[in-house]
Structure 1
């Protein structure tokens, strides 16, 4: 390459001050700005945060105002989802139905420039959900400008043994989620996109056969290494200082973590810090008291995302038996901090953690996962595993594959492919 790509980045959800999808949207778009002449298009609710991050509207980004529709839509979503933080399949479905309005306004603002060839590539980063069709894919194809979509992620089926948790999360619509594949707009999106970045192997497997030749696997999440440079004290692996990070809801398994560790907690061999808040908080505290381990369990409550490393970096083990994780961002961050992960062998975390860097619990009933986690913890207490060595291998894996800088470089290789600068489809060896 002799010049930087002129890229129009579509990131309806992108915000440096939020977490989950908006943080992914912001982090990837901002990283691409460092390796391409990129202009970000986002929704107006993110404008102030972009400006606080030092970006200038008109020069670095454009904010599209769809609030006239989105405000009443969020009122409707709030009534249909079944409670705060629940019914995410319902939320995604309703957002996908109304998302085309955003893209139509993007085309109204940038269509003339796209047709005039002022951009080498148009890349839709968010929505991450593969259920959101794109009208830009076809319009860019007709204009002769490659359209890249992704990373796409989501839709991991609920494990059969966790139907109760599925219902507690009000995930009724998840039973018919795959109906989106029959939507004409989705089929046209796959057909007219030049490349599809899959954020998980499951999402890649859901693509129709004709689209898989366009698919490149690049995991959804990554880290900013500057935030994870302090690995804590070397002697932390001489003790079992366990950590759970996440929303306190049944499918994340904070109760499984407490029960699995109870013998070691009661014996004073281990301690457990739970970072996060949610509807299970009172029940978890009662569980710890009932098991006689309350003095060994610290409930840190809700913590600002940027402050989590300060609490977690001196822990030795990340005990996270969540059964439905798409991207596994918390696992990546924990490994970057030098924690050895114990995770469910399912979804995004299972694609991140190897046998050399952590432990994967067989996906089964709650009791099977609890007992296997207890066995792993007992082995750790008996010093049957070299935690320091596993942590070092985990950090090396994250440093090599899961930084936003590395991910931006991978995206540029995708741009090379769709613009004809390289003949072969990229494969990054995850």
Structure 2
């Protein structure tokens, strides 16, 4: 008989409530599951103190695995090979793939006997999110007769044509041979052994071989904690149109394209722009703003603590975010949760989140085409912002109905139960 609350061993090597990006995703999903299932989280020792500060009890709620003997030197190697802070993410992932097997061996050493003894109904590897990193746990868990859940997997979005210079500036040399991961027999064994494969995007779902597609379910990696994003944008009809860019200041996120497209409106006072984030382009962007004559209309906030981000974002009418290679698009959901309408490129992660009712999307094209399309959208909304009010309301509804962490956890538990039904 299926238990009311599934007993879940949640593997989240990267999970930290005090960090952002993948560690915050890992933490948010694993901790949200605790309201719907009996969950024991297994994470890496670097996250231990943050777990304790969050009120979790070591041994009862979580176990911290010390894999630093392998992880630490490889992390230092990855930092050297990426050739710049915030660059070379494909290289970082590749080096992580070398360190991760040692972590899983330690997990099996501590939990293998308990898995074989039937103490868990489900084993779910939440992080790493990268679809390229194989799991040696998957076939062992499957051999023990316990369903193994993988994901949400996300990443590997192809670089669009015409953006090779951005690719080189990001030091993404390894991305040219990324597909070599498919040749790894451990990766094929993982997919065979998994009972359920969660894909964080339509692109990643399409990368799963056809013979495993019956096990694939779409579940975007990002979600919203309503306690963190609990304000509502006014969408005021008065004053200039307000845009906000939120993200790392790196080439593929397109902040320079945004400044160029917005320059005429910024100069004549019909648009003001907040830029929240830090990165290697900061100096060049400030110089570009001066060259375009828009310095007075653009405010660079730098990197803000996560809890302060919504204070700036909620003042905007639009999230102006022309990224051309976004895997998940967490900032898009954050804006939608606040009733800030996203203006994004119709490609990859954001395209899975934004609908015609909840935001505006511009076609993926060359740099000049994106800049021109972005300028047209901004000009139209500066002239008439009335469409923003219903879109903002629809965006908030969409997030509330489908993208809170609690909602996603409830969806996951229903998937677990389906796997637990005797066949």
Same fold (TM over 0.5): yes
User: 1 CA distance for matches of 2:5 and 2:370?
Assistant: 48
C-alpha separation between the residues in 2 aligned to 1:312 and 1:45?
31
Corresponding residue of 1:102: 103
C-alpha spacing 1:2/1:136, structure 2 compared with 1 (3 Å): closer
- Partners of 2:4 and 2:303 in 1: CA distance: 45
| Counterpart in the other structure of 2:241 | 240
What is the aligned partner in structure 1 of residue 48 from structure 2?
A: 47
The aligned runs of 1:13-412 (5 Å cut-off) are: 13-235=14-236, 239-383=240-384, 385-412=386-413
Separation of aligned partners in 2, 1:108 and 1:384: 59
Listed one character per residue, the Cα deviations across residues 313-343 of structure 1 (whole Å, up to 9, x for unaligned) are 1111110000111010010001111111110
Q: Which moved more, 1:404-413 or 1:235-244?
A: 235-244
Cα pair distance change 1:158/1:355, threshold 3 Å: same
Cα distance between partner residues in 1 of 2:170 and 2:356: 31
Query: Does structure 2 conserve the Cα–Cα contact (< 8 Å) formed by 1:241 and 1:271?
Result: yes
TM-score, normalised relative to structure 1: 0.96
Query: What CA distance in whole angstroms lies between the structure 1 residues aligned with 2:237 and 2:288?
Result: 27
Q: Say whether the 8 Å CA contact 1:244–1:319 is kept in structure 2.
A: yes
- Is the contact made by 1:200 and 1:348 (CA closer than 8 Å) also made in structure 2? yes
Alpha-carbon distance between aligned partners in 2 of 1:403 and 1:258, rounded to the nearest angstrom: 32
**In the TM superposition, what is the alpha-carbon distance from 1:229 to its structure 2 partner?**
2.0
SS at match of 1:42: strand
Question: What is the root-mean-square deviation in Å for CA atoms of aligned residues?
Answer: 1.3
CA contact (8 A) 1:237 1:388 kept: no
Partners in 1 of 2:319 and 2:342 — Cα distance? 5
Deviation at 1:237, TM superposition (A): 7.2
Within 1, Cα distance between the matches of 2:421 and 2:202? Answer: 25
CA contact (8 A) 1:257 1:370 kept: yes
Q: CA deviation at 1:227?
A: 1.9
Is 2:86–2:279's contact at 8 Å kept on the other side of the alignment?
no
Aligned partners of 1:261, 1:136: CA distance in 2, in Å? 50
Q: Which moved more, 1:145-154 or 1:1-10?
A: 1-10
Q: C-alpha separation between the residues in 1 aligned to 2:76 and 2:193?
A: 34
Looking at structure 2, the residues matched to 219 and 75 of structure 1 have their Cα atoms a distance apart, in angstroms, of: 30
Going from structure 1 to structure 2, the CA distance change for 1:407 and 1:237 (only over 3 Å counts) comes to: farther
Q: Residues 103-139 of structure 1, C-alpha deviation per residue, up to 9 Å, x if partnerless?
A: 1110000011000000000000000001111111111
Question: Which consecutive residues of structure 2, in runs of 5 or more, have no partner in the other structure?
Answer: none
Q: Would the aligned equivalents of 2:40 and 2:60 in 1 still touch at CA under 8 Å?
A: yes
CA distances 1:16-69 after superposition (whole Å, capped 9, x unpaired)? 000000000000000001110000000000000000000011010000001111
For 1:219-249, what per-residue CA distance to the aligned partner results, in whole angstroms no more than 9, with x for missing partners? 1100001222210335267641110001111
Unaligned runs of 5+ in 1: 424-430
- State how far apart, in whole Å, the 2-side matches of 1:236 and 1:173 are: 47
8 A Cα contact 1:237 1:387, kept in partner: no
Render the CA deviation track for 1:159-182: whole Å, top value 9, x for unaligned: 111100000011011011011011
- Conservation of the 8 A alpha-carbon contact between 1:242 and 1:270: yes
Say which is worse superposed, 77-86 or 41-50, in terms of deviation: 77-86
- TM-superposed deviation, 1:385: 4.9
Which one is further off, 279-288 or 143-152? 279-288
User: Retained in 2: the 8 A contact 1:243–1:312?
Assistant: yes
**Residues matched between the structures, number:** 422
SS class of match (1:228) = coil
Partner Cα separation in structure 2 for residue 384 and residue 114 of structure 1: 57
Specify whether residues 144 and 157 from structure 1 end up closer, same or farther in structure 2 by C-alpha distance, changes over 3 A only. same
The answer to which of 189-198 and 355-364 deviates more is 355-364
Match of 1:426 in 2: none
Contact 1:239–1:316 (CA under 8 A) maintained in structure 2:
no
- The aligned counterpart of 1:428 is none
Contact map agreement 1:162 1:365 (CA 8 A) in 2: yes
